[in-house]
Amino acid sequence: MKHSTFKIIKAATNITSGLSMSALIVLGVMYISFTNAFVFNNSGISVTNNPVTGQQINFILEGSREHECVLTRVHSHATNTKTGEIFDFDFDKKVYLRSGDYLGNATGVVDHQWGIPKPENMPAGVYEASLYSEFDCVYLLFTKSKVQMFDDIALIIE
């Protein structure tokens, strides 16, 4: 093998090795960013019909999201601020009030509204509601299960 051919092969090998290392670094940084990212950014949940006078509690979620996520499980409850009594919300009976772009799939902007029946034995009072959502998220080659929590949602039942 000639010296000039050896130099060309060595240079090509170095370039290939450098590109491979760069790709691995970029993918590693993207994976770390993805695993540490929240499902929803700049977001919040509130009750739109506060104080609740009827049999349905209406919620709105506003914010944005970057990754493709599928909701797998939701748990929500309200705690009476005076007595500490906890009431679970039944998400199996939720009604979508407005969700033209479910969880911002097309735009990344979330404006999602739903109603949940008020628990039958829930007395009037001031409550702090909490919502815990579990998601399966996908970004390029990566998949990750994530949990997003929203605490201290003000709820007044009359």
The residue type of 144 is K
pLDDT at 77: 93
Cis peptide before 51 (omega within 30 of 0): yes
Residues 117 and 74 placed together within one structural domain of the fold = yes
Residues 44 and 32 in one domain: no
pLDDT of residue 152 exceeding 70: yes
- Flag the least confident range among 43-52, 59-68, 141-150: 59-68
Q: Which residues pair with 154 in a beta bridge?
A: 128
Q: Using alpha carbons, list the distances in angstroms from residue 118 to 17, 49, 72.
A: 61, 12, 23
Q: Distance between CA atoms of 2 and 142, rounded to whole angstroms?
A: 45
Shared-domain flag, residues 148 and 86: yes
Q: Which domain holds residue 14?
A: 1-36
**53-106: per-residue pLDDT in tens?**
989 999 988 888 878 888 889 899 999 999 999 999 988 888 877 665 555 555
pLDDT at residue 62, rounded to an integer: 83
Total domain count, the chain: 2
Helix (H) or strand (E) holding 35: helix 3-36
| One domain for residues 30 and 48 | no
Determine how many CB atoms are found less than 10 A away from the CB of residue 119: 16
When the pLDDT of each residue in the chain is averaged and rounded to a whole number, the result is 86
What is the pLDDT, as a whole number, of residue 69? 84
Q: What is the pLDDT of residue 37?
A: 86
CATH code of the domain covering residue 92:
2.60.40
